[in-house]
Amino acid sequence: MLIIRPIRLSDYSALYRCAVESGHGFTSLPENEELLSHRIEHSLYSFAKEEITAPSDEGYLMVGIDSDTGEVAGTTAIEASVGWDLPFYSYHIDTIVHSSRRLGVNKIVKLLSLGNNYTGCSELCSLFLLPRFRKGMNGKLMSKCRFLMMAEHPERFSSTIIAEMRGVSDEQGNSPFWQWLQEHFFGIDFTLADYLAGSGHKGFIADLMPKLPIYVNLLSQEAQSVIGKVHDKTRPALKILENEGFSCRDYVDIFDAGPTVECHIKHIRSVRESFSSHVVIEDCASGVPVIVSNTSMENFRATMTNALFDAERNHVTISSEVAKALLVDNGDRVRVLVNH
């Protein structure tokens, strides 16, 4: 059984392993001891923070734990509000028409315009599973547990939820989109730019990024072909979010041109369909597959199991093993999502 909980200081080694294995283009998990340690400490502060009425600088980093071995299987996270401490840049794909009535010419042209339009939004990030745990429903649990947290604690999150999807790059970390930018503006390779951004050193973006919109048709064919496309390893994560109601509104990442998807928190399928219920602890062999979480923030727990419902009494029956994992007892309230 995979159990989701807030990260701890003792999880540092496992987090570093995830950072190494996530590879190039995974900006939110840089291979940097100081930054990863700070991220754990900031997450501890965020989970412990009380009386929040609006999202600010909180960052909630969680890990999935194999209940049989105690091994960390992967990570998942939410940033409560992006762009306040560090700028959050993205490109918007704009469409304009160059037209001449006299010549009878109409030309549709696409532009990449740099902006900070997602400032203040909550961001889903750092979803990564170690290879041997990429099976069954683990990916869905790691992704959807965040929506149960949002449904239970909406005051901690923005009305708009976004996720930057990793764009196209090869095994050596070469991004076709960045290669064009590197040649004409930056002079540093993709892996270094990606590392600097993940390390919080984003000043070079404002210093070196072209100040005017970029005409897409001036880019190399290789760069144009990957705009709005995702890395092969990111397709399953994108599919989960699309099924939740997320879509791309023509915003792409400034490094690899991967799409940014968004959804209003009230329109996210798992937020809408999850419900509150009271626990009955009873070991049973039947039931329907669900994702279930407790209602705590500091001691958040979530897992996937089979459960029985009594709609009339608003009861959900779970096993003693699951109840122990969720830190709940008979009569306690939990949040439940029937797994689709």
Question: Is 134 in the same domain as 171?
Answer: yes
**Domain C-terminal end among 270, 289, 317:** 270
Residues 146 and 261 in one domain: yes
Nearest to 281 by CA among 306, 309, 316, 314: 316
How far apart are the C-alpha atoms of 114 and 94, rounded to whole Å?
Answer: 10
Of 314, 295, 111, 67, nearest to 219 (Cα)?
Answer: 111
> Catalytic residue numbers?
231
In this prediction, the residues of the chain whose per-residue pLDDT falls under 50 are none
The predicted model scores a pTM of 0.91
Whether residues 243 and 293 share a domain: the answer is no
Predicted local confidence at residue 204, as pLDDT = 61
Same domain? 261 vs 327 = no
Are 221 and 281 contained in the same domain?
no
Do 136 and 30 belong to one domain?
Answer: yes
Residues 234 and 307 in one domain: no
Q: How many domains does the chain have?
A: 2
Find residue 163's DSSP bridge partners. Answer: 124, 261
pLDDT tens digits for range 34-76: 889 999 999 999 999 998 999 999 999 999 999 999 999 999 9
pLDDT at 199: 58
Whether residue 315 is found in the same domain as residue 227? no
- The answer to whether residue 158 sits within a structural domain is yes
Domain interval for residue 20: 2-90+116-270
94: tokens are 């704009």
Which of 231, 246, 270 is the last residue before a domain boundary? 270
Per-residue model confidence (pLDDT) at position 304: 96
State the alpha helices, DSSP H only, in the chain: 12-22, 33-48, 138-152, 176-181, 190-198, 203-208, 221-225, 235-244, 269-273, 320-326
| CA separation for the pair 32, 34 (Å, rounded) | 6
Q: How many degrees, rounded to 5, is the angle at CA 297 between CA 157 and CA 144?
A: 65
My answer on whether 154 and 208 are in the same domain is yes
pLDDT at 25: 56
**Residue among 236, 214, 216 nearest 226 (CA):** 216
User: 221: which 2 tokens?
Assistant: 């064919």
The answer to whether position 95 is within a domain reads: no
Residue 260: its pLDDT value, please?
97
